[in-house]
């Protein structure tokens, strides 16, 4: 897993007035809100004797209290009280929590998994209107998160894994795919067709659609993906790393087909169930892949239709070695 990156890790609605403990990026983390409602992310380990702060509580909306011995930490991670020493005693040096910067927007919670403060906030997909309704489902996968991402960038599997859903039509030939690199990621233009015996077109030969209006897939490094199905429908996935062998997919179905609350809710429920059904078609296969994915892409022989995977792996390699992922 790559450090010095903004990762989507939760949905906003999952963090309320009580501490929430989760494992993300292989670390035990606790999330809570301060008096202003800002989400705080700390390493879930009390500096005293390592107890989980997720089992504690928020005191006066400004401190998180350890359930074991009552130590209190502020929103910066600094310990402000050791009850056994007395309220007027100085806190011993070194009593503080490792904390990560957070960002909350569009119903998601990001953390900057790295050292220090990031230069800028993370960016979301510009073509999803702020008022577009969405419904979300969480889906656990027993894979490294890069495996799940690569599956969504894989154009050749559609007519086989999804032959009775989104892959109908026996479109087995992959023309391209077309790739357009943009800030923080890239667009993928899909040109699958039935095999009529004619040679496949290369990435350079396929047309480049309008990225602001035409159908496309978009990936934002390191863990967001969007399928722009049409002007009024989008599918989004956040590939949230739990640890080296587990991922949670936050799958969203966006739609602006109607503004009627009941009908909007019904469409959202249907879209959410369809998202999950299609994801499980993928999960069944992806969890069998060997070697187990770790983001390196070793042990495989790729084909031209895998170009989007190659672009993603290139970005990972650049980020790993400290250069820009673009």
DSSP-derived secondary structure for 168-199: TT---EEEEEEEEEETTEEEEEEEEE---SSP
Q: Where are the alpha helices (DSSP H) in the chain?
A: 145-152, 158-161, 261-286, 307-320
Same domain membership, residue 137 and residue 34 = no
Q: Residue 125: name the closest of 100, 149, 108, 101 by CA.
A: 108
Threshold 0.95, pTM exceeds: no
Query: CA neighbours within 13 Å on the CB side: how many for 171?
Result: 16
**Count of other CB atoms within 10 angstroms of residue 137:** 15
pLDDT of residue 131: 81
Which domain CATH number covers 102? 2.102.10.10
Residue ending a domain, choose from 64, 84, 113: 113
Is residue 166 domain-shared with residue 311, that is, in the same domain?
yes
* Burial class, 130, CB count within 10 angstroms (exposed 0-12 / middle 13-18 / buried 19+): exposed
The total of other beta-carbon atoms located within 10 Å of residue 251's CB is 21
Q: Looking at the structure, do residues 142 and 257 belong to the same domain, yes or no?
A: yes
CA-closest candidate to residue 146, choices 218, 221, 216, 226: 221
- Please indicate, yes or no, whether residues 260 and 184 belong to a single structural domain of this protein: yes
Which of 113, 145, 168 terminates a domain? The answer is 113
Which CATH number belongs to the domain containing residue 166 in this structure? Answer: 3.90.380.10
The pLDDT assigned to 325 comes to 54
CA distance 44 to 26: 12
Residue 122 belongs to some domain of the structure: no
Read off the pLDDT of residues 265-296 as tens digits, 9 standing for 90 and up.
899 899 999 999 999 999 999 999 987 777 67
pLDDT, mean over the chain? 92
Identify the sign of the CA torsion 90, 91, 94, 96.
Answer: negative
Q: What are the tokens at 180?
A: 């357009």
Do 226 and 139 belong to one domain? yes
Average pLDDT over residues 188-194: 92
**96 plus 188 within the same structural domain:** no
Give per-residue pLDDT as tens, 301-310.
Answer: 899 999 999 9
Q: How far apart are CA 136 and CA 149, in angstroms?
A: 18
In this structure, are 171 and 237 located in the same domain? yes
Bond from prior residue into 222 cis (ω within 30 degrees of 0):
yes
CA 151/CA 153 separation, integer angstroms: 5
Q: What is the mean pLDDT of residues 73-93?
A: 94
Contact 224, 107 (CB under 8 A): no
pLDDT at site 295: 67
CB of 244 closer than 8 Å to CB of 291: no
SS (H, E, C) 289-301: CCCCCCCCCCCCC
3-class secondary structure, 166? coil
Q: How many domains does the chain have?
A: 2
Q: Does any domain span residue 123?
A: no
Q: Find the domain containing 106 and state its range.
A: 5-113
Domain co-membership, 152 together with 262: yes
> Does any domain span residue 18?
yes
Is 120 contained in some domain? Answer: no
Residue at 121 is within a domain: no
Q: 119 lies in a domain?
A: no
- pLDDT for 326 equals 45
């Amino acid at each position: 897993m790559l450090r010095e990156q903004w990762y989507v890790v939760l949905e906003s609605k999952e963090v309320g007035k009580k501490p929430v403990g989760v494992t993300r990026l292989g670390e035990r983390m606790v999330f809570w809100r301060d008096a202003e409602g800002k989400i705080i992310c700390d390493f879930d380990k009390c500096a005293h004797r390592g107890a989980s702060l997720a089992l504690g509580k928020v005191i006066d909306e400004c401190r998180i209290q350890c359930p074991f011995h009552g130590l209190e930490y502020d929103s910066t991670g600094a310990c402000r009280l050791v009850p056994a020493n007395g309220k007027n005693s100085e806190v011993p040096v070194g009593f503080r929590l490792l904390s990560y910067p957070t960002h909350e927007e569009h119903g998601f919670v990001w953390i900057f998994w790295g050292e220090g403060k990031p230069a800028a906030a993370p960016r979301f997909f510009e073509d999803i209107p702020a008022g577009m309704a969405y419904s979300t489902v969480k889906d656990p996968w027993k894979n490294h998160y890069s495996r799940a991402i690569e599956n969504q960038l894989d154009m050749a599997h559609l007519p086989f894994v999804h032959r009775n859903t989104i892959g109908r039509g026996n479109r087995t030939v992959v023309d391209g795919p077309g790739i357009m690199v943009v800030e923080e990621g890239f667009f993928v233009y899909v040109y699958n067709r039935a095999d009529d015996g004619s040679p496949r077109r290369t990435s350079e030969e396929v047309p480049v659609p309008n990225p602001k209006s035409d159908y496309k897939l978009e990936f934002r490094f390191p863990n967001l993906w969007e399928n722009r199905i049409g002007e009024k429908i989008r599918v989004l996935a956040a590939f949230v790393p739990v640890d080296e062998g587990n991922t949670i997919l936050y799958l969203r179905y966006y739609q602006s087909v109607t503004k009627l609350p009941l009908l909007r809710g019904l469409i959202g429920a249907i879209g959410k169930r369809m998202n999950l059904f299609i994801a499980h078609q993928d999960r069944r296969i992806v969890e069998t892949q060997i070697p187990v994915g770790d983001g390196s892409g070793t042990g495989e022989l790729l084909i031209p239709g895998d170009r989007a995977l190659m672009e993603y792996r290139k970005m990972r390699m650049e980020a790993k070695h400290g250069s820009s992922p673009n």
